[in-house]
Chains A and B, each alone.
Chain A
């Protein structure tokens, strides 16, 4: 199956 990535990996912590 496919591996679901998570969103927080794309944006930076403010």
Chain B
């Protein structure tokens, strides 16, 4: 028996909008600790990892570990039918091959049930070791989204470099080149507006902008984005989800061939 009730249903709506274009179908894993997902995009260049911890739900019942294969596009279609203030409950059962999304309006005067068939998805789970990063940049998520969008209009790849001057985003295309430098800036009245750069050593890596612009669809989930870089590892772009978890995007770099 599975019953997860999320008062802030909009979080789930935003999560689906953030991942449905990157990954078409995935297994949602439900366990006592929470509701999670790990999936790669079709070209195995990027990986998304989602965790919504059980204590973040208003009611969390998961009798046995359950894995639900879902087409994310279809799930997104259903969640779009939920209002921004609706309470969303996910119901499943290990016996049935369906999942139900229940939407309750705030005034409890409208209850909707959307039922979807589950799919069999064989997805190998990857072990993601905790790593030491050479540089970690924490900045306003809207700022990062704007930079990726702007650079995406000039070139296809972005070179992200962290030095003691700050974090640099560089691209070059047919029309020319663009270079954006963001400096450490903690002298702001709101902490979420600050840019904090933790650099253990300088690092510079190249990534495909189309993936970065796909990740920034998660901007609505958090005012802050954290970008962790290491020359030996994929970049991690992380958006925290209001005290209940996170959505992390991992992207493999491009190298000079």
Write the residues of chain A forming the contact surface with B, with a CB cutoff of 8 angstroms.
1-14
Contact = CB atoms under 8 A, between A and B. Distances in A.
Nearest to B159: A2
B45 A7 contact: yes
Contact of A8 (B44, B129, B256, B257): B44
A6 B46 CA distance: 7
B254 A7 contact: no
SS class of chain A's interface: helix, strand, loop or mixed?
Answer: mixed
Contacts of B254: 2-5
Interface in B224-257: 233-234, 250-257
Nearest to A6: B44
Interface size class of B (residues with CB under 8 A): 20 to 34
A13 B127 CA distance: 6
A3 B157 CA distance: 11
B257 A12 contact: no
B257 A3 contact: yes
B43 A6 contact: yes
A13 B40 CA distance: 13
A4 B234 CA distance: 11
B109 interface: no
Interface of B: 40, 43-47, 124-129, 157, 206, 208, 233-234, 250-257
Nearest to B124: A13
Nearest to A1: B257
Contact of B127 (A2, A7, A12): A12
Contact of B255 (A2, A7, A8, A13): A2
Contacts of A10: 233-234, 250, 252
A12 B129 CA distance: 9
B208 A8 contact: no
28 contacts: A1-B257, A2-B206, A3-B254, A4-B45, A4-B208, A5-B252, A5-B254, A6-B43, A6-B44, A6-B45, A7-B40, A7-B44, A7-B46, A7-B126, A7-B252, A8-B40, A8-B44, A10-B233, A10-B234, A10-B250, A10-B252, A11-B47, A11-B127, A11-B128, A12-B127, A12-B129, A13-B124, A14-B126
Contacts of A7: 40, 44-47, 126, 234, 250-252
